[in-house]
């Protein structure tokens, strides 16, 4: 146990300032979600989805968020393992931008995971956006960006980076 505590102390020192370092990382924009070749992004890393704000209409943030929430928190999908809107993060937004941060996640196979967000059936028990099954592809545009993480300690680093970037970008939906 003593050695574990020593390692914990060393990790604590290493992770000082990690939040700022992680928040300086930038996603690589790939463009329209439906145009991206998902086979080309089969690597470990993080992915960031944005939604084009125009279909939700309102220029005032509160009105826009109300319309967005009504569309995304569909009652019939409440028990379908889909993420809901996060009020705490939504409250931190100050304006409607052309592209609003939708969802941020991590995966050891980014392309496969993004495909699940697009095409998983509503009744599958895998947690995902399930955009097609929820009829959220039609009339909406999504933009995908990725951050490749070629690191030996992915299981340790990826969650910490994901959390830091989630605090930076404030995605509207997601469990965490």
Please state, for a pLDDT cut of 90, what percent of the chain lies above it: 60
Residue 116 lies in a domain: yes
Residue 99: inside a domain, yes or no? yes
Answer whether residue 175 is part of any domain: no
Please give the average per-residue pLDDT across 11-24, as a whole number.
90
Give per-residue pLDDT as tens, 98-147: 899 999 999 999 999 999 999 999 888 888 999 999 888 888 899 999 99
* Cα three-residue angle 56-60-66, rounded to 5 degrees: 50
Q: ∠ at Cα 19 (17, 23), nearest 5°?
A: 125
In which order are the strands placed within the sheet that holds 45-52?
28-32, 142-148, 45-52, 99-107
What pTM, to 2 d.p., does this model score?
0.91
Tally of structural domains, the chain:
1
Exposure class string for 25-53: b at 16+ Cβ within 10 A, else e = eebeebeebeebebeebeebbbbbbbbbb
**Angle (nearest 5°) at CA 135 between 54 and 80:** 120
| 111 assigned to some structural domain | yes
The answer to whether residue 83 scores a pLDDT higher than 70 is yes
Find the range with the poorest average confidence among 2-16, 73-87, 124-138. 73-87
The verdict on residue 174 lying in a domain is no
Find the domain containing 115 and state its range.
Answer: 2-169
């Amino acid at each position: 146990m003593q050695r574990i505590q020593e390692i914990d102390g060393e990790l604590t020192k290493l992770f000082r300032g990690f939040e700022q370092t992680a928040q300086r990382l930038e996603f690589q924009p790939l463009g329209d979600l439906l145009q991206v070749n998902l086979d080309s992004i089969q690597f470990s890393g993080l992915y960031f989805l944005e939604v084009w704000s125009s279909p939700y209409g309102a220029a005032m943030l509160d009105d826009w968020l109300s319309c967005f929430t009504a569309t995304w928190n569909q009652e019939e999908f409440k028990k379908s393992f889909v993420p809901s809107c996060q009020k705490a993060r939504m409250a931190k937004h100050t304006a409607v931008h052309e592209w609003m941060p939708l969802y941020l996640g991590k995966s050891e196979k980014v392309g496969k995971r993004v495909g699940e967000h697009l095409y998983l059936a509503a009744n599958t028990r895998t947690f995902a956006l399930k955009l097609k099954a929820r009829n959220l592809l039609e009339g909406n545009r999504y933009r995908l960006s990725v951050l490749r993480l070629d690191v030996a300690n992915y299981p340790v680093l990826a969650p910490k980076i994901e959390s830091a970037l989630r605090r930076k970008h404030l995605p509207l939906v997601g469990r965490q």
